[in-house]
Structure 1
Amino acid sequence: MSYSMTGYGQSAIQQSGYKIQFEVKSVNHRYCEVVLRMPREWNGFEEGLRRLVQQHMRRGRIDVYITRESESQGNAMTLNRAAAESYIRAARELEQAYGIDGRLGAAEILSLPDVMIPAAAPLEPSDSTDWEQVLQQGLGLALAEIVAMRGSEGTYLARDCRLRLENLQAAHQELVRLAPLVVEDYRTKLRQRLAELQDGSFALDEQRLGMEVALFADRCSIDEELARLGSHFVQCSELLGSTEPKGRKLDFLIQEMNREVNTIGSKANHLALGGHVVEMKAELEKMREQAANLE
């Protein structure tokens, strides 16, 4: 199965008079980067929670938010001083740089995003709850949701990549068919051109003509590039059908296929063949965009 690197999942559980909320977001990233934000009393559980995330997802930047709210407190809010101070500093910088009035009133600051956040009620000293197990359970529920979402989108991306691959294979077959005609067309055009220039003052040297055509055939031969493309197509098809993370390998294969197509375009001086090269480059670009989102 294929997985996208973007997704979202959430869950909430009640335990010991608290409501614990879990929110997991993921976006594209070259590696697997896990960022955890939770009440400081639970910082000792961070490594275990990080390993749990990495068991479910191999690539992407994954942001995990865990908040705690006492059921007796309801929707109590608290001031996020770091966010408020960053807004104030930004306003002062604008005032210094552009002469804009940078004064912010208390009401304006409190209305800005993330300045007021849900209060994290302190844990009761006598609470004997195994909070690590509770956090693992709640995070596991959120991870199951985001993995399902990533799997659904990844299946669509892989299906689209496979469609692009089929289009590339069809164009490749046309290139294989046209490749021998390139030399024949050149021979015919060269003979016609020489016939047009023939005024009876020189004899057409068939041997020289044959040498010129042979040199052209050697310069414009695309047999090796076509063979390598065929091999890349097989590898790409196998990769898309595998269950392993495939984004980075697929990106590498697309680069290699693009290199071969560019070489074919530069070597083969033929109108019909050039049209298929342009078509293949367009399909590879679309395929690259989709592969960039795969885990």
Structure 2
Amino acid sequence: MPLTSMTGFARADGDNAVARWHWELRSVNGKGLDVRFRLPSGFETIEARLREEMARHLKRGNVQASLSLDRVKAAAPLRVNEDALAVVVAAMKSLGERIELMPPRPEGILALRGVLESVETEEVEEDRAGFEQELIASFGEAAASLARARSEEGAKLETILTEQVNTIERLTAQAAASPSAGVDAMRARLKAQIAELLGASPALSEERLAQEAALLATKADVREEIDRLSAHVAQARELFAGSEPAGRRLDFLTQEFNREANTLCSKAADVSLTRIGLELKAVIDQLREQIQNVE
């Protein structure tokens, strides 16, 4: 399974008879899965279900999820205000007893303020639950889209990481082939260092001399660091090809890479091996930066 990035963006739109909405999701790297919501007032009750939905798609990352909601303004039903109508009819009757009036037209009466009034419909609990379910389903679409975006970004990221690991492998091979890392070179350095040691302290005992020689040999031998670097390269490739999120383990592996490169530099006996060690440190640092975005 390709590596997955923790960086991505997605959105999903929806509508029904009462509202239009759209979800917007953004994610960046994080130690765990941390989802922060911006929801319209009154919709905080669905947050727990939204978190469960997100956990189905992502394992790590800091995610910002915002919901924009626009209610559809439907024409409210009308009804006759009987009390207001009675007042109007009574007033017209009283006025008709005093002066001659044309018969009133119904539409004229209904046009009077307060005779017709709108009726606000109450939201039924079942309708509210159905609406919330639509919002959650739409959020699930956005979360799936975000996961796809992160996978696409992860494929690009894997290409970069693979090139960097290949560079580490090439530099490790150069270190192994360096004349100063060979057995003959190490033997010559060890011989010279022992001679220098005897010149400074000719009265050293055989036991002390053996200890000093072993210490000098350990400091001069970089083959163990080279072997470990090669093993780390193989492990990195195994993690790239694995089926589980590998970000945490790759992050730990870069620390191991760096430790071996530091030791190689400290043991380097000539400029060429030091240069290789410094190049290793540079590419390992680039690798570590990129791995911070791997899920």
In the superposition, the TM-score normalised over structure 1's length comes to: 0.70
**For the residues of structure 2 that align with 1:239 and 1:32, how far apart are their CA atoms?**
21
Q: Counterpart of 1:154?
A: 154
Change (3 A) 1:123 1:163: farther
Q: Counterpart of 2:139?
A: 139
Percent identity over paired residues: 30
**1:93-121: per-residue Cα shift (whole Å, max 9, x none)?**
xxxxxxxxxxxxxxxxxxxxxxxxxxxxx
**Which of the two has higher C-alpha Rg?**
2
**For the residues of structure 1 that align with 2:122 and 2:265, how far apart are their CA atoms?**
72
In the superposition, the TM-score normalised over structure 2's length comes to: 0.70
Change (3 A) 1:38 1:230: same
**For the residues of structure 1 that align with 2:221 and 2:121, how far apart are their CA atoms?**
75
**1:51-72: per-residue Cα shift (whole Å, max 9, x none)?**
1111111111111111221122
Change (3 A) 1:258 1:124: farther
Q: CA RMSD in A?
A: 2.7
**1:137-165: per-residue Cα shift (whole Å, max 9, x none)?**
11122112222221111111111111110
Paired positions, count: 230
Q: For residues 1-295 of structure 1, what are the structure 2 equivalents within 5 Å?
A: 1-72=2-73, 124-126=122-124, 128-129=126-127, 130-178=130-178, 179-180=181-182, 182-183=185-186, 186=189, 190=192, 216-295=216-295
Structure 1 residue 216: Cα displacement: 4.1
Change (3 A) 1:36 1:268: same
Structure 1 residue 123: Cα displacement: 9.6
Unaligned 5+ runs, structure 2: 75-119, 197-209
123-132 or 59-68: which moved more? 123-132
AA paired with 1:70? R
Unaligned 5+ runs, structure 1: 74-121, 195-210
SS at match of 2:31: coil
**For the residues of structure 2 that align with 1:239 and 1:288, how far apart are their CA atoms?**
15
AA paired with 2:292? A
Q: Counterpart of 1:201?
A: none
**For the residues of structure 1 that align with 2:134 and 2:269, how far apart are their CA atoms?**
67
